[in-house]
């Protein structure tokens, strides 16, 4: 019996270099917003500047029968980090070499002591090399670059384009991404709400969709009516859902949030504390400091906080 594919990609195409999803049957795009990432650029370049290379201490293995013993002998945080799983440990060129650790993790004397504790002895089982192994700190993003880096720098594990794999994971697994028919019904509901309430493209509107119950509610910004600075459409929606929630679960943990404008800092934090999983917005903020789409910062994925949510940008609401 054939294995089922992990991802059903039959209903969309992915442009992984630009992080864009496009439904195959309609002119619709959802674009993942990331803080500016160097790996978006470097992973497609044949040449890598020295500032973007990691420095590793390496050893020549003299007794190849003990090669496997070296893998767990040194407790290197970097080499254990899945982020660097594209780096092969061993280079089998003219002689067998192994990367032991990032250059500043251990001194040569410390390495010798660690290896001795694993019954691996200098000048018998291995020889520490004075030459560093310089390896790109970001993974290659296509097979051609992978092969060229493997020849120029150090052997690489090719596991496919990690950005494409991440997009598929985001759209189909982590957030149970909806097919076009469901999205269209939600955006149609927003459009009808705008017409009914005689709203313009400048009005801020937010739809809260419960992915578990298949229910949604729509809210607008009421600052001008209430004269209350906190009456943003997102805050209004959170307040309403909170007042009608009967469980002790996190407020919005089953929700997708679709809003017409990039949220302000207050609304971003409210969504963060409410534990949403996915936010889609249309119009970028015109503020000097953007909370989600800035080039060097995104509140939705700020590591010191104890939650993060995925942010996508769409471009078809009024079509």
Which residue from 172, 151, 140 is spatially nearest to 9, judged by alpha carbons? Answer: 172
> How high is the pLDDT of residue 275?
87
> How high is the pLDDT of residue 36?
45
> How high is the pLDDT of residue 81?
92
Query: pLDDT 10s per residue in the chain (319 long)?
Result: 333 333 445 556 666 666 666 666 655 555 555 444 556 678 889 999 999 999 999 999 999 999 999 999 999 999 999 889 999 999 998 899 999 999 999 999 999 999 999 999 999 999 999 999 999 999 998 899 999 999 999 999 998 887 666 666 655 555 455 666 777 788 889 999 999 999 988 889 999 998 888 899 999 998 766 656 678 999 999 999 988 877 666 678 888 899 988 888 889 888 988 888 788 888 766 665 555 665 555 666 666 667 777 777 776 544 4
Burial tier of 214 (Cβ tally within 10 Å: 0-12, 13-18, 19+): exposed
Q: How far apart are CA 11 and CA 184, in angstroms?
A: 14
> How high is the pLDDT of residue 94?
85
Q: Per the structure block, which two tokens stand in for 105?
A: 């993790």
Burial tier of 171 (Cβ tally within 10 Å: 0-12, 13-18, 19+): buried
Question: For strand 278-283 and strand 255-261, is the pairing parallel, antiparallel, or unpaired?
Answer: parallel
CATH number of 12-33+175-314: 3.40.140.10
Sorted by where each begins, the domain ranges of the chain are 12-33+175-314, 50-152
């Amino acid at each position: 019996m054939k294995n089922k594919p992990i991802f059903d990609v039959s209903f969309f195409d992915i442009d992984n270099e630009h992080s864009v999803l496009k439904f195959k049957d309609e002119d619709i795009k959802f674009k993942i917003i990331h803080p500016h990432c160097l790996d978006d650029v470097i992973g497609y370049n044949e040449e890598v500047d020295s500032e973007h290379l990691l420095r590793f201490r390496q050893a020549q293995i003299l007794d190849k029968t003990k090669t496997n013993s070296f893998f767990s002998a040194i407790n290197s945080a970097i080499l254990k980090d899945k982020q660097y799983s594209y780096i092969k440990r061993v280079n089998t060129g003219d002689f067998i070499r192994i990367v032991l650790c990032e250059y500043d993790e251990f001194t040569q004397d410390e390495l010798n002591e660690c290896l001795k504790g694993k019954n691996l002895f200098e000048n018998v089982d291995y020889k520490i090399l004075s030459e560093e192994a310089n390896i790109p700190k970001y993974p290659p993003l296509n097979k051609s670059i992978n092969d060229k880096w493997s020849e120029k720098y150090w052997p690489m594990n090719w596991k496919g384009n990690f950005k494409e794999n991440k997009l598929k994971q985001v759209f189909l697994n982590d957030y149970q991404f909806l097919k076009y028919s469901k999205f269209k019904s939600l955006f149609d509901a927003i459009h009808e709400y705008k017409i009914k309430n005689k709203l313009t493209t400048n009005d801020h509107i937010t739809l809260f969709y419960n992915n578990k119950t298949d229910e949604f509610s729509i809210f607008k910004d009421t600052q001008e009516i209430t004269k209350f600075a906190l009456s943003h459409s997102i805050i209004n929606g959170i307040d309403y859902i909170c007042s009608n929630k009967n469980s002790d679960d996190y407020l919005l943990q089953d929700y997708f949030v679709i809003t017409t404008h990039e949220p302000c800092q207050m609304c971003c934090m409210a969504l963060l504390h409410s534990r949403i999983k996915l936010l889609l917005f249309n119009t970028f903020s015109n503020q000097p400091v953007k909370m989600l789409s800035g080039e060097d910062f995104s509140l939705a994925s700020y590591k010191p906080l104890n939650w993060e949510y995925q942010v996508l940008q769409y471009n078809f609401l009024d079509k």
